[in-house]
Amino acid sequence: MKCLLIGCGRMGSAILKGILKNEYMEENFSIIDPKSVVDPVIKASKVKIYKNLDEISIKDRTFKLVIFAVKPQIINEVVKACKEKLKGSYLLISIVAGVKINFYQSALKKNYRIIRAMPNIPAEIGKGITALVKSRNISKKDMDISKRIFGPLGEILWIKEENHMDLITAISGSGPAYIFYLAEIMIKLAIDKGLSKKEASLLVSQMIKGSGSLMNLSPKTAKELRDEVTSPGGTTESALKVIMLDEIFAKIMRKAILSAMQRSKELSNQY
């Protein structure tokens, strides 16, 4: 199956490197990116790399799968170029933030099979989660193809309603930044209190890694796990009394996530 990836930035590269784990796929893959692809894994592969669609001969422009992995700001010109220069019909997978399925259907003027995806940054190391939503004409084969694309990046979650993508963007897409900020605060405090930067970073990163793994593997809820750590009269209880005072932290987090969700809706309404 001939495949085309348009955009080979951070997430596009992560997707492609996951695909390259299947050697039989790399010979059928082409990339379009106006910048030089510098990733050594990609450069050493058999993937064909182009600056634009015009560099691909007309007879070679019949792809069965096209992946859009560009910035939202240029999606209009990318779609226009594909409409004018790509031959035939294809499965379209988009990881372009905020761009709805209806946009592609209207812009391409055809009943394309479309899957919209929202991966997150841990996908770079195969520990992410990708939320997927599909157009009505997607087949089981198309869903299997998307599993091959996103399976190497981590977990996959199919959702039924596209309007939930704004919430997923705010929680899963933006969520790693919230965790990194919490880690930043803890590391700084540890350094201020005498630990080296290396010691503080290892302590906090491993604590977050272990906690996430435990939550993922345990049948218990987040609250049940929290309660198990919180001994009466102990250090954790002392900390949580501050964190949970008047639900200030919970209110801030809820407000932050809703703000991200609203911004995602605003961006989506532009397309």
**Domain locations in the chain as residue ranges:** 3-160, 173-268
Q: Can you give the C-alpha Rg of the chain in angstroms?
A: 22
Q: Domain 3-160: which topology?
A: Rossmann fold (3.40.50)
- Residue 240 CB partners (closer than 8 Å, separation 6+): 226, 230
What's residue 263's pLDDT?
94
How many helices (H) and strands (E) in the chain? 12, 8
Average pLDDT of the segment spanning 191-206: 98
Average pLDDT of the segment spanning 226-233: 97
Judging by DSSP bridges, how do beta strands 65-68 and 3-6 pair with one another? parallel
Per-residue confidence band for 84, with pLDDT thresholds at 50, 70 and 90: very high
Q: Domain 173-268: which topology?
A: ProC C-terminal domain-like fold (1.10.3730)
The 10 Å Cβ neighbour count of residue 79 is 23
Average pLDDT of the segment spanning 96-110: 91
CA–chain centroid gap for 146, Å, is: 14
Which DSSP state fits 127?
-
Q: Within a 13 Å sphere around the CA of 65, how many CA atoms are in the beta-carbon half? A: 24
Instruction: Note the helical H segments in 98-221.
Output: 101-108, 140-150, 165-168, 175-192, 197-217
Per-residue confidence band for 23, with pLDDT thresholds at 50, 70 and 90: low
Cα three-residue angle 156-46-116, rounded to 5 degrees: 25
- Residue 54 pLDDT > 70, yes or no? yes
Give the Cα separation of 115 and 136 in Å (integer): 10
